[in-house]
């Protein structure tokens, strides 16, 4: 596809957005941007002692390859820098131009359908209960050798959800025209099939 077509995928921590977004992007042959990585890269720099706004203004694509961006400590730091309006505005243009690239784009995050791409051609809001999300994240972390407990993962997920939902700037919430997908009782193949069917309906319009 030569024209721009933006798919916005939002939802809370560990809802399956990443896996779903990659599968949707591969299906349609679109580029994919995990916008959480931008905030994680800024959070990682904060942990190294850098000013968060300066880190966001000077972020490069190399910073997105940094080690340990997936750690629970970096996730918490990401959600702390994400409440800062100047951090969010420093990351805005990059996300918007990615979204309008020729050939189609999938962006996943918290505010893609509401703030970054309010005119996205298709919007999904992917969610699941906090317990299910914590179980999935715990399994991932345990497989990668982390010693974190399931109770700590659940507490982290809930803390991050509350900070993301209650912030003044671009809070986590579904766009009015988003299609809701609750993956609590769904395997990933079913979630992907549901997402693709919903997007195909929009593409046909
Ligand atoms: O999606 P992920 O869990 O990697 O995001 C890490 C943190 O970055 C989130 O908890 C949230 O605070 C922030 N974030 C955001 N807006 C986005 C993507 C992520 O505020 N579009």
Cα distance between the two ends of the chain = 15
Do the domain assignments include residue 205?
Answer: no
Q: Return d(Cα 123, Cα 12) in angstroms, integer.
A: 15
Question: Is 204 within a domain?
Answer: no
Task: Output the CA 97–ligand 1 centroid distance in Å.
Answer: 19
Question: Which residues of the chain fall below pLDDT 70?
Answer: 1-2
pLDDT score recorded for residue 4 = 87
From 20, 81, 110, give the residue whose CB has the most ligand 1 atoms within 8 Å, as the site to mutate. Answer: 110
How distant is the alpha carbon of residue 29 from its chain centre?
19
Residue 46 forms part of a structural domain: yes
Task: Tell me whether residue 1 is in a domain.
Answer: no
116 CA closest ligand 1 atom index:
21
146-181: pLDDT as tens digits = 899 999 999 999 999 999 999 999 999 999 999 999
> What is the pTM for the complete model shown?
0.95
Number of domains into which the chain is organized: 1
Residue 82 CB less than 6 A away from ligand 1:
yes
Q: Domain for residue 138, yes or no?
A: yes
Q: What is the pLDDT of residues 34-49, one digit of tens each?
A: 999 999 999 999 999 9
Domain hosting 154: range is: 6-196
| Within-domain flag for 203 | no
Domain CATH code at residue 175: 3.40.50.300
Beta strand residue intervals within the chain, DSSP E: 6-10, 31-34, 105-109, 122-127, 179-182
């Amino acid at each position: 596809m030569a024209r721009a077509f933006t798919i916005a995928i939002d939802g809370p921590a560990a809802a399956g957005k990443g896996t779903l977004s990659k599968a949707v992007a591969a299906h349609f042959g679109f580029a994919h941007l995990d916008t959480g990585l931008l905030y994680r890269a800024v959070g990682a720099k904060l942990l190294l002692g850098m000013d968060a706004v300066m880190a966001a203004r000077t972020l490069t694509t190399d910073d997105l390859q940094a080690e340990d961006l997936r750690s629970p400590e970096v996730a918490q730091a990401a959600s702390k820098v994400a409440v800062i309006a100047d951090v969010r505005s420093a990351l805005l243009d990059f996300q918007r131009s990615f979204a309008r690239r020729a050939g189609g784009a999938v962006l996943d995050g918290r505010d893609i359908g509401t703030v970054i791409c309010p005119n996205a051609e298709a919007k999904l809001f992917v969610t699941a209960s906090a317990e299910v999300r914590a179980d999935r994240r715990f399994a991932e972390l345990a497989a990668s050798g982390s010693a974190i407990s399931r109770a700590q993962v659940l507490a982290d997920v809930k803390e991050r959800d509350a900070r993301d939902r209650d912030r003044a700037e671009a809070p986590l919430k579904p766009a009015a025209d988003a299609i809701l997908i609750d993956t609590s009782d769904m395997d990933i193949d079913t979630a992907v099939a549901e997402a693709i069917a919903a997007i195909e309906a929009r593409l046909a319009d």
